[in-house]
Structures are given as structure tokens and as C-alpha cells.
Structure 1
């Protein structure tokens, strides 16, 4: 089970885009990969179709989930994520660095 979900704020830990932050735009759980907005941009040669122009387009390529970490809501630094159950019975994710609840 992945601890990263769509619309989470993450920071890249390793690779060419190390230190960059962005929002998760897609999660690929079968491949253990995520797509992050503005990170790991690659150029793709796009063939022209009746609805779309051809040419070279830039898209976000997926990166492995182990290379990203959640951004702590309190101090904007990388943090690990844990699960806990609230008094009302909801299971939520929380930042281990500050104890702040990530899910709303």
C-alpha cells in the first residue's frame, strides 16, 4: 500500500530533480511510481492527429515512490508518514516529524 496519494505535496530526494517540490498528479500503484507536477520533465515526439498538433512536447515522466517524501505541513521539510486512528474511528495519515495530520 502506497502512502502517497494524488494532490499530496512531495519533495524529490534523489536524482536530477533533487530538492524540487511539487504536487502528485498521478499515482501508479502497480509500478510503485508517481508523477509529480514540474518534476522529471522529458521530451516526447508526438505524432500529429486530427485533434492534436504534432511536434516535441514536454511531459512529466513517473519516478519511483521511494525517491519522494511528503512535505511536512508545519515546516515544509521532508517527513515520513504513519497511520493512526482518531477518536471517531477514522484512519488518517500523519507526519512523523511533527505529528501533524495530513488527511483532512
Structure 2
């Protein structure tokens, strides 16, 4: 299955998975333990049909029956991750700048 090979061929990349309810019960138990799985967005016709089953996966899975809600949550999650990454990049850039300034100082 393509889903499994994606996880294996991108072991260092964070993966957000949108999956249909019809595939979820087959796929989620198999991929759930992959370390690069960040979040599962299960899209289905009825949240109540999957809520009891989904409790075993609630720390990495959210269930949606409205596409707009799913997209809004995905957008917010990605936005937060990108902000965290940008903050880290800016911090590192400042550290490198300070190191570079130290090398510019005269030795004597």
C-alpha cells in the first residue's frame, strides 16, 4: 500500500495523514506507531460511528464529518509548526551571527 511506503521512504519527515473512514480501521492500527506520524485526520460521514473505536488513537487522531472543519484544523496545526520552525531558525541565525562577530574581534 502506498501509505506504508511513504512512511518508510520519508522517515525524517513529519507526516499529516487525511484518511477516509472506510480505510481508517484497516490502516490506522498499522501506521499509528510510525515515529514520523504527527496527526491523523479521519474524514467520515458520521463522527459517532468512529468515536468509540477512535479512543485508542485519540492522541494522534481527530475525527471530522465536515471538510471545512478538517481543513481549518490542518491549517492551524501546520501554521503553528511553521511558526515554531521559523522561531528556531531565527534563534539559530542570531547565534551564528554572534559567533561570527566574535571571530571579527582583534586578537590583541
Q: TM-score range by the shorter chain?
A: under 0.3
Structure having the higher strand fraction is: 1
> What is the TM-score normalised by the length of structure 1?
0.19
Structure having the higher helix fraction is: 2
> What is the TM-score normalised by the length of structure 2?
0.19
